[in-house]
């Protein structure tokens, strides 16, 4: 039997700016997943989509075809509603770590399928793997049992979930087509819809350290993903949040876990607490829980109890000492005054070059590597005081990290500094 379509016909249609039909989309995703459409052909199609875009109907069908390439999870047997969060990635973005146990402590199950870091953005699984014994890989049955017993799970997505996305994502990464908004939106949402969560909150970062530098583009991505989720019957909301300044006071793996535990203990940096609580409110509202204030639950210590139970359930020891880097290097403030700028990208690149991140997905990461900053924009600093502490196991990495930080911060005499709002906007269906 001859195929319904051929790859060249589909590529040419999109190259010439035409809308792809449902039949073309279904066929090309299925054929690519089975290996019938070659990588070079899918690369050409991805580039045509990047250059010519897609209509909302096409994106929705593309997403549905990616979901159909694998299994769908079902949490309907759970005794509580489900809500999940996805962040488009940033620097110092450890929010998932305190957020999942906080929402679970409020009675909503959190099935958080997370990833590993690539480039300057950290990966949630890399951070948690710095906890001795903790494991990222769970079977679907283990995940379901932990959601019922503990209320929260943070783990790696199984191979059965949207396999077309896994294959296409790797291809986009090496063909300069990562930035295509239709492909980003369908990549994220195919996994989240297949995961089976009842409601979803998207943290779409915008700024120098974010994947989306431009607010209009970030807004377009957020709106597209909210529409995809809403159409699929998932209560979906997006917050546009600032990522020009890194979150908290740390970027790395073990050091971000330590900072997350501080937040769960009722302390931690104000911006990390603010965003954790803001996202928790949205997740609870999406799951129909409106009678609890997550700020009060966080202060009560109940989220810390859930964190410890969650870590233990995945083999980790919440009381074990976290790994520490063997070497450190302090960068002193160049002058006295106010820290007026701290660039998220500069900090993220420095942490990456110290060994906290990876250049290729198969690279190892150092658990103890990263950057600690001792002041945030608006803080007063004194010439000579420690401004950054760089951490790594390999001192040869310090030079390149220091190059990354050059020009990434400013100390001035502007005492009227006012921070930009952390939450820029809220986008709902």
> Which listed residue (61, 120, 191, 205) is catalytic?
191
187 is catalytic: yes
Q: Which residues pair with 203 in a beta bridge?
A: 87, 239
* Distance from C-alpha of 253 to C-alpha of 124, rounded to nearest angstrom: 8
Catalytic-labelled residue, pool 5, 61, 172, 397 = 172
Q: Residue 80: name the closest of 114, 103, 112 by CA.
A: 103
Catalytic residue from among 69, 87, 114, 187: 187
Tell how strand 152-156 and strand 110-114 pair up.
Answer: parallel
List the catalytic residue out of 86, 120, 205, 281. Answer: 86
The answer to whether 86 is a known catalytic residue is yes
Cα distances from 173 to residues 14, 43, 51, 178, 346, in angstroms, run: 20, 10, 16, 6, 22
C-alpha to C-alpha distance for 415 and 339, rounded to whole angstroms:
9
Strand partners, 371: 251, 390
For residue 339, give the H/E element and its range.
strand 337-342
Element of type H or E holding 47: helix 39-52
Taking a C-beta distance cutoff of 8 angstroms, is the pair 390, 354 a contact?
yes
Q: Taking Cα atoms as reference points, which of 366, 368, 369, 354 lies closest to residue 402? A: 354
Cβ–Cβ under 8 Å, residues 278 and 424: no
| Token output for 161 | 């979930």
Catalytic residue among 26, 165, 203, 343: 165
Q: How far apart are CA 109 and CA 128, in angstroms?
A: 19
The DSSP 8-state label assigned to residue 377 in this structure reads T
Q: Look at the block and give the residue holding tokens 């250059």.
A: 51
Q: Tell me the two tokens of residue 376.
A: 């945030």
Nearest to 336 by CA among 282, 261, 260, 414: 414
CB 295: neighbour CB atoms within 10 A? Answer: 16
> Is 191 tagged catalytic?
yes
Is residue 165 flagged as an active site residue?
yes
CA distances from 59 to 8, 22, 29, 54, 63 (A): 20, 10, 12, 6, 6
* Residue 30 is a catalytic residue: no
Active site residue ranges = 86, 165, 172, 187, 191
């Amino acid at each position: 039997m001859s195929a319904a379509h051929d790859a060249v016909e589909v590529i040419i249609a999109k190259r010439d700016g035409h809308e792809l039909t449902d039949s073309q989309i279904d066929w090309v995703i299925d054929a690519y997943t089975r290996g019938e459409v070659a990588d070079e052909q899918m690369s050409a199609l991805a580039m045509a989509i990047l250059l010519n875009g897609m209509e909302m109907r096409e994106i929705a069908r593309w997403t549905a075809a990616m979901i159909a390439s694998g299994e769908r999870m079902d949490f309907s047997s759970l005794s509580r509603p489900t809500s999940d969060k996805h962040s488009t990635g940033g620097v110092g973005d450890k929010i998932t770590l305190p957020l999942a146990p906080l929402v679970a402590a409020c009675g909503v199950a959190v099935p958080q399928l997370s990833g590993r870091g690539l480039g300057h953005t950290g990966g949630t699984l890399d951070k948690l793997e710095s906890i001795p014994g903790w494991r990222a890989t769970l079977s679907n049955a283990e995940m379901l049992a932990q959601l019922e017993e503990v209320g929260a799970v943070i783990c790696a997505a199984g191979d059965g979930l949207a396999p077309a996305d896994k294959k296409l994502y790797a291809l986009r990464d090496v063909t300069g087509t990562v930035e295509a908004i239709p492909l980003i939106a369908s990549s994220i949402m195919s996994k989240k819809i297949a995961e089976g969560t009842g409601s979803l909150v998207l943290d779409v970062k915008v700024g120098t350290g974010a994947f989306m530098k431009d607010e209009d583009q970030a807004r377009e991505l957020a709106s597209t993903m909210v529409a995809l989720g809403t159409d699929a019957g998932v209560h979906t909301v997006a917050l546009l949040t600032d990522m020009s300044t890194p979150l908290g006071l740390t970027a790395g793996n073990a050091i971000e876990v330590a900072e997350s535990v501080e937040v769960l203990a009722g302390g931690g940096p104000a911006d990390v607490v603010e965003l954790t609580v803001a996202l928790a409110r949205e997740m609870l509202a999406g799951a129909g829980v409106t009678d609890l204030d997550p700020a009060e639950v966080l202060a009560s210590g109940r989220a810390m109890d859930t964190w410890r139970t969650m870590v233990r359930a995945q083999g980790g020891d919440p009381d074990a000492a976290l790994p520490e880097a063997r070497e450190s290097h302090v960068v002193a403030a160049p002058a006295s005054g106010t820290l007026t700028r701290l660039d998220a990208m500069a900090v993220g690149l420095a942490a990456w070059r110290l060994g906290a991140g990876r250049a290729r997905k198969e690279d190892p990461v150092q658990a103890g590597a990263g950057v600690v900053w001792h002041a945030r924009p608006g803080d007063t600093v004194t010439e000579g005081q420690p401004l950054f502490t760089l951490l790594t196991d390999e001192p040869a990495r310090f030079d390149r990290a220091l190059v990354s930080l050059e020009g990434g911060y400013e100390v001035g005499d502007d005492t009227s500094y006012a921070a930009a709002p952390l939450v820029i906007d809220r986008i709902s269906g």
